Amino acid sequence: MPTITDEAICIRQWDWSETSQTVSVFARETGVVRGVAKGSKRPRAPFSGGVEVLTRGELTATLKRPGALSIITSWDLRDPYAALRRDLARYHTGLLVVDLLHHALREEDPHPRLYDDAANTLASLASADPDPPRALLEFQWSLARETGHRPELDRRADNGAPLEGAPTYCFCPELGGLTPDPAPAGVLGRTWRVREETIRALRAGCAGADAGEAPQAVVRANKLLATFLSDRLGFELPSLAPWEAAIGLDRAENSLPGE
């Protein structure tokens, strides 16, 4: 049973008893670790007063086999991201980030680059002048790349031909990309109708650039990418609807997954 010390972000926490917790953390060099933090809420325990979701710290743990709870022996808080808890848009964006990590990653499967991107996203959300939708979009692109589910935005998903400009497209989740709108006859399965400005926002988010898209286009691009990732990876994303409400997405105008 190896013992590790690693930098980590807490992505889940449950009370185990009056003084202990079970936690799930995303560690930079180790990946997701799920374990028991015995005595973590005791006053003089080496846990910085307990382990809380949406915080970053230094973790020491004795690892068990995947599927069994590891033993968390210490947690040294490094960044509480306090500003996230003073604003609903920031807070729900942060919760969506850790929700995506929790569902998309397997235990002890390291992704150092994704960890750095997640830490940078949370730091950006806690900064003096955050842009929650854009920060989230760049993070989601990182997650899509790391999990092998990055959608194709420049070529047709049905035949690989260059994608011509148009006011709307069809996004095909099974094919992982776009076709003309309406979808060609040979395209089977579901299609989600999306606007051209949503795709422009996605492309800018992929490049980490601000191309001057309308704020609602960036929000719609986030919704499309989050819905696609949850669909392809096979999980429900309960944090998405509260994020939409906190960020101000108009459901009447944007009823489809990509819209």
Pairing label, strands 152-156, 177-180 = parallel
Query: At 23, is the secondary structure helix, strand, or coil?
Result: strand
**Distance in angstroms (rounded) separating the CA atoms of residues 8 and 31:** 9
E-only strand ranges, the chain: 3-15, 21-27, 31-37, 56-62, 70-79, 152-156, 168-172, 177-180, 192-195
pLDDT of residue 256: 41
Torsion of CA 217, 154, 137, 171, to 10 degrees: 70
Distances in Å between the Cα of 38 and the Cα atoms of 45, 68, 137 are: 9, 15, 36
pTM beyond 0.85: the answer is: yes
pLDDT tens for 195-243 read 999 999 999 988 777 767 788 999 999 999 999 999 999 999 999 999 9
pLDDT tens for 42-96 read 988 899 888 999 999 999 999 988 778 999 999 999 999 999 999 999 999 999 9
Q: Which residue segments constitute the domains of the chain, with CATH numbers given?
A: 1-80 (2.40.50.140), 85-259 (1.20.1440.120)
